[in-house]
A = this chain, B = another copy of it.
């Protein structure tokens, strides 16, 4: 529990290249801002879409305990091969943290099995994230709520499976609510969806946001167990002869 967690932060890394106002907020890309902002016993690696195999080789994934993902305009450019590879690793135990517009990332949608659609509006309104699971490790160190002065709005209905735990619910100035911090168990892996992070706002410089992501890495780190076994040839299959 106290060992170093190997984190890979994956970023599409397009907005920062093409939009000056985004580059100003994240000069080296959001992935580096997040990498610098996380606190914990983490060994952090980064990867981006335009690297070979999107930077997510078998070797990289084999050495990743928790994968953080940010994508938006280029979801379609992520190859199905890499999507399958990542999803498979999640089911085997790798933690997966999907940020903001990654609700539409291929790998997230594949793992959810639903459309992952939602309502949205970007007028830079205020967001308040309320803690509704106060005993959850992802809420550690967070007050009853925290605010982001300007964010894009995401609103319900959010077409995801009922989360196993909802840690945060957002209030938006314009009249909407959203399940903003959602935990899912899939196979041997754990998934956390965290809503904030529109590229036009300095969200990943926010101390509470960074704390939540850091907490989520700790929560999502794999437990140490042997691989799951399925099918016919397993030790448990002998028929038991009761002695009673």
Contacts and interface: CB of A to CB of B under 8 A. Distances in A.
B175 A238 contact: yes
A175 B136 CA distance: 23
Given A188-B134, A225-B139, A242-B126, A159 B91 contact: yes
Contacts of A162: 133, 164-165, 185
A155 interface: yes
Interface stretch (A25-33, A42-50, A176-184, A194-202): A176-184
A240 B130 contact: no
A242 B239 contact: yes
Given A110-B113, A139-B223, A125 B157 contact: no
Count of chain copies: 4
A119 B174 CA distance: 21
A216 to B, nearest CB: 13
A62 interface: no
A80 interface: no
Interface string A152-168: 00011111011011100
21 contacts: A1-B2, A1-B137, A1-B218, A113-B113, A114-B186, A115-B230, A117-B231, A126-B240, A128-B236, A130-B155, A132-B177, A135-B186, A135-B222, A137-B223, A140-B224, A142-B225, A162-B165, A171-B172, A174-B237, A175-B236, A241-B242
Interface of A: 1-2, 87, 91, 93, 110-115, 117-121, 123-126, 128, 130-137, 139-145, 155-159, 161-162, 164-166, 169-177, 179, 184-190, 218, 222-226, 228-232, 234-244
